[in-house]
Amino acid sequence: MTTQLTHAAAPVKTSGRGSGRARGGQAADVGRPGFAWAVPATIFFVLFAILPLLAVAVLSFMSWGGIGDPEWVGLDNWSRVFDDPVMIKSIWLTLLLTVLGVVLQTPLSILIGVWAAGTQRNRAVISAVYFVPLLLSSTAVSVLWRALLDPNFGIPSEATWLFGDGNLFGEQSTAIGVLAFVSTWQFTPLHSLIYQGAARAIPQVLYQAAQIDGAGRVRQFFHITLPQLRNSIITSMILMVVGGLTTFETVLILTQGGPGTDTTISAYYMYQKAFKSFDFGAGAVIALLLVVAATIISLIVVRLSGYDKMRSTMEGVS
Amino acid sequence: MRTRTRFSRMLVGGVTLGMALSLSACGGDSGSGSSDGKIHVLVYGDATNKVEKAVVAEFNKTSEVKVVLDTIPGATYQQKLQTIINTPQAPDVFYNWGAGSIQPFVKAGLLMPLDDFIKDDPKLKSAFLPSVFNAAEVDGKAYGIPMRGTQPVLLFSNDKVLKDAGTTAPKTWDDLLDSVKKLKKSGVTPIALGGGDQWPTLMWFEYLYDRIAGPDLLKKAVAGDKDAWASEDSKKALNKLKELVDTGAFGTNYDSVKYTDGGSPALIARGKAGFELMGSWYYSQQQTDAKEFAEKDLGYHPFPTIDGGKGDPNDVVGNTNNYYSVMKKTKHPEAVAKFLKLMYSDKFIKRQLAIGNLPTTTNTEKFLDTASNPDYAHYQFDLVKKAPSFQLSWDQAYPQSASEQMHQAVQQFFNGSMDVDGFIKAMQALPTA
């Protein structure tokens, strides 16, 4: 008893350098930095996120074409955007692409990530190659796939049995399919990387115990690996959802929202309204809707998963 | 205590940084038009800038007031221009497409009517082809001086493919339908189209409307007459176009093909298609991408005539030219006027011709033989000179805010997801200045 107590108190006394910690004075503060650490980030966040966001909020009540002074129009932009069939369509398309992204990428990245967490040398080499798409910018990726999927000179011209006339960007279903595929190709490596790190952090003792109990590989995966990856799954899903809501470059380069408005997702529609039609008021409304939607969805994911309790799986710290 | 000092130090640091950022944003921009003894000329940044650089260097040799040339890469030119035009960073003189592209600026009272310049030097107007000069007039006043070159839309062809299919360049609409049939039979796509970019598709509408309804329909429509789109002529043009699309003239995958990534020009150059309708820049594009083909088999023709149409068969559509417009707030109007005079100088014309552009001064003809390709330069010049009407591309004639909806409607009508009435409604819904 006595030894344990002194042991717990000791770090507080000896490491009195950080006065914040001394003031907190609780063992739970061990290893947790004070607010000062977050100041630079907070300042940047206020300057480059909060202030512009407020400006956009004000702009959403104004009519502005990029020249002249903005004119106050009240709720006009809002009612216009909500009456706009293209806007409603764009919300559905955005949700569809986001869901497709999560559904396609999550299982793939868990499998690849867990596989790549092994220690054999060939895995390291193959995973390194596999992570290459992550290094390319979205723009480069989109240009690349646009060229590869050209109906006359790309893959479709060689594989007509699969692609028919190759009119992938000319029809809604195939255009969405291509967008989902390209995002998956591009972002699965990132999520695999998250899962790889998390899988490596799972204590080996768990597997050793399972082996002793006679559990096979599949059972080990479902009963140890997956539950242990829970927090990573949530992190990765939030990234996917927010990424899905703000998908932009792929649409800009691959389909330009077309054919017609068939792949005009909200983020692209915002750009189109503000910077192509010079209707900054409507653009601001869509931007705010996206911010709200992304925040709500992230909160729901966090709540449902119990992630907000911030439970740590680190041993000894709770 | 220490936390607090650290905190305040960081805060001070942060605020200083923030101020430094905003200060540099104010003072660092070289595009400021108000700086003394200088005028800023803003142009679309591309290969043609070498002529503009030479002109500016020449001007600066003799002028007290120096010209500074600012360039913005093409893809973002219009967006950037719109953002800075009403700020202190606005240029004194800027590049544009005339008509609808400058209309909002005229309305906002930002541009200087050039009547006084022209009164002092009538050649600023009389030295240019009238059809071209007039395209930069807004409400009867001149707001732009032509620069660079004219870009009529022509029907290009791969003559070897035509020959193999047993056909020639079409003179009439029926000839075109006949060629399409023969080309289809010989197993190629009759007409290449970069439908993924949308604007190449628009060119087909522009010519059919011009041939069938004449150039007045668009003029009325742009002026705000919604009935123009619902007229009999309009429906006739749309039905004719539909007929062509339905014969399979463009194949089935044109919406997945782009002009801008070299897709549709490659179809022509590699003998997989017979025709392509495109602006006159197509020629130099093919010369860069497929030199051998461009020299041997690339043909260029006027758009076919259509029986019973109201438009003159000699009419052309396209981009009449680019223009320099002048900001009202410029502090050195005399220097600007002097600079604009260079746009009809012999040296300027020769320089433009040497890089394949076709300037639109009345005396350009004299210099055509010095062009990079004299035959093509002569052909284009005659075409533009003879044309009773040179209709500006619809997306440039309408205000910028209309172009997105217009492009979508054009694409949807072409691929069948919108019918005649839907298209008419979409065009009627476009903002007209």
Reported as a single tens digit per residue, the pLDDT across B406-423 is: 999 999 999 999 999 999
pLDDT of residue B232: 96
Best A176, A262, A276, A279 member to test B by mutation, with max B CBs in 10 Å, is A276
Helix (H, G, I), strand (E, B) or coil at B197: coil
Task: List % helix, strand, coil for chain B (3-state, nearest 5).
Answer: 55, 15, 30
Average pLDDT over residues A202-210: 92
User: Residue A181 is which amino acid?
Assistant: F
Contacts of A257 in chain B (CB under 8 A): 408
Which DSSP category does B357 fall into?
Answer: -
Expressed in angstroms, the distance from the first to the final Cα of chain B is 63
Contacts of A165 in chain B (CB under 8 A): 251-253
Token representation of residue A286: 């869509």
pLDDT digits (tens, 9 = 90+) for A264-285: 999 999 999 988 888 899 999 9
Average pLDDT over residues B88-94: 92
Return the higher-pLDDT residue of A21 and A153. A153
* 0.80 exceeded by pTM: yes
Contacts of A258 in chain B (CB under 8 A): 196, 198, 255, 408, 411
CA of A261, closest CA in chain B: separation in Å?
Answer: 7
Q: Are strands B189-192 and B273-279 parallel, antiparallel or unpaired?
A: parallel
Tell me, rounded to whole angstroms, the distance of Cα B173 from its chain centroid.
26
- Determine which of A233-237, B106-110, B399-403 has the lowest per-residue pLDDT on average: B399-403
pLDDT digits (tens, 9 = 90+) for A37-72: 889 999 999 999 999 999 999 999 999 887 777 889
Say yes or no for a CB contact (<8 Å) between B254 and A170.
yes
Tell me, rounded to whole angstroms, the distance of Cα A91 from its chain centroid.
18
CA of A110, closest CA in chain B: separation in Å?
Answer: 34
Say yes or no for a CB contact (<8 Å) between A152 and B255.
no
pLDDT of residue B285: 84
Identify which of A65, A257, A261 has the shortest CB distance to residue B104. A65
Place of tokens 């030219």: B321
pLDDT of residue B33: 41
Return the higher-pLDDT residue of A130 and A72. A72
**Predicted ipTM of the assembly:** 0.79
Return the higher-pLDDT residue of A131 and A22. A131
Is A260 touching B (CB cutoff 8 A)?
yes
Residues 6+ apart with CB under 8 A from A210: A219, A220, A223, A224
Average pLDDT over residues B83-110: 89
pLDDT digits (tens, 9 = 90+) for A231-276: 899 889 988 988 888 889 999 999 999 898 999 999 999 999 988 8
Alpha-carbon distances of B326 from A275, B331, B333, B344, rounded to whole Å: 23, 11, 9, 17
Contacts of A255 in chain B (CB under 8 A): 196
Best A176, A256, A269, A273 member to test B by mutation, with max B CBs in 10 Å, is A256
Best A21, A23, A39 member to test B by mutation, with max B CBs in 10 Å, is A39
Taking the C-alpha atoms of residue B108 and residue B114, their distance in angstroms, rounded to an integer, is: 16
Kindly tell me if the per-residue pLDDT of B27 is higher than 70: no
Best B252, B256, B414, B417 member to test A by mutation, with max A CBs in 10 Å, is B256
Residues 6+ apart with CB under 8 A from A305: A230, A234
Q: Please, what is the Cα angle at B87 between B341 and B20, to 5 degrees?
A: 125
pLDDT of residue A228: 92
Alpha-carbon distances of A5 from A246, A314, B193, rounded to whole Å: 51, 21, 80
pLDDT band at A222 (very low <50, low <70, confident <90, very high): very high
CA of A171, closest CA in chain B: separation in Å?
Answer: 8
Identify which of B261, B266, B401 has the shortest CB distance to residue A278. B401
Average pLDDT over residues B266-294: 92
Average pLDDT over residues A280-300: 90
Phi and psi (nearest 5°) for B83? -75, -35
Taking the C-alpha atoms of residue B269 and residue B288, their distance in angstroms, rounded to an integer, is: 11
Kindly tell me if the per-residue pLDDT of B9 is higher than 80: no
CA of A66, closest CA in chain B: separation in Å?
Answer: 6
Polymer length of chain B = 433
Contacts of B6 in chain A (CB under 8 A): 36
Identify which of A19, A39, A149 has the shortest CB distance to residue B11. A39
Say yes or no for a CB contact (<8 Å) between A260 and B252.
no
pLDDT of residue A313: 54
Peptide bond into A259 cis (omega under 30): yes
Is A52 touching B (CB cutoff 8 A)?
no
pLDDT of residue B32: 42
